[in-house]
């Protein structure tokens, strides 16, 4: 079995001075979690190593955190699922919806005025205020 220094040297041979990403640090933390769960690290060791992993800026520093942890743990650790992408309403959709609301408002207002009922006109004015507010809100969210 290779020595920990040999493992670390092999891991950092090509990119030791390159900067790590957040995903790289998270992967090392997953390896440390697996080692902790298996009883290979005490709670204090685990917390200290997680702190070092979060502060690591290069691959060499990151490899030093897991130098004495068996390599098979890194293969056994579950991969993270990618974060869900936020679905945003496209501006065209919001504007089209707003235009439909405006047409509906005009048709409704014409019907209310032709009916001659003041209740219908008041209800139509309330509908206009609510629909306009909703349309503007949709367009602001879609930006």
User: What's the pLDDT tens digit per position in 60-82?
Assistant: 888 888 888 876 655 554 555 66
- The residue ranking higher by pLDDT, 120 or 44, is 44
* Cα–Cα distance, 97 to 95 (Å, whole number): 5
* Mean pLDDT of all residues in 12-32: 79
Phi, psi (5° rounding) for residue 27? Answer: -65, -40
pLDDT, mean over the chain:
76
For residue 25, how many C-alpha atoms fall within 13 Å in the half-sphere facing its CB?
15
Checking if the pLDDT of 43 tops 80, the result is yes
Tell me if 27 sits within 8 A of 65, measured CB to CB: no
Query: Helix (H, G, I), strand (E, B), or coil: what is residue 92?
Result: helix
* Sequential DSSP letters for 33-89: HHHHHTTSS-HHHHHHHHHHHHH--BHHHHHHHTTTS-HHHHHHSPPPPPPPPPP--
pLDDT at 73: 59
**Res. 106: pLDDT tops 50:** yes
Q: Measure Cα distances from 55 to 25, 35, 87, 95 in Å.
A: 9, 19, 33, 47
Measured CA to CA, the distance from residue 10 to residue 32 in angstroms comes to 19
Asked if residues 63 and 10 have their Cβ atoms less than 8 Å apart, the reply is no
């Amino acid at each position: 079995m290779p020595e920990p220094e040999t493992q670390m040297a092999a891991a950092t041979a090509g990119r030791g001075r390159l900067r790590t990403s957040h995903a790289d640090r998270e992967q090392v933390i997953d390896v440390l979690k697996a080692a902790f769960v298996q009883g290979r690290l005490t709670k204090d060791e685990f917390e200290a190593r997680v702190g070092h992993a979060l502060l690591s800026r290069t691959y060499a520093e990151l490899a030093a955190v897991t130098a004495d942890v068996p390599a098979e743990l890194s293969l056994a650790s579950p991969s993270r699922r990618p974060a869900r992408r936020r679905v945003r309403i496209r501006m065209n959709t919001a504007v089209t919806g707003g235009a439909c609301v405006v047409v509906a408002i005009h048709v409704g207002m014409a019907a209310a005025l032709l009916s001659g009922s003041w209740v219908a006109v008041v209800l139509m004015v309330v509908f206009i205020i609510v629909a306009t507010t909703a349309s503007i809100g949709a367009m602001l969210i879609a930006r």
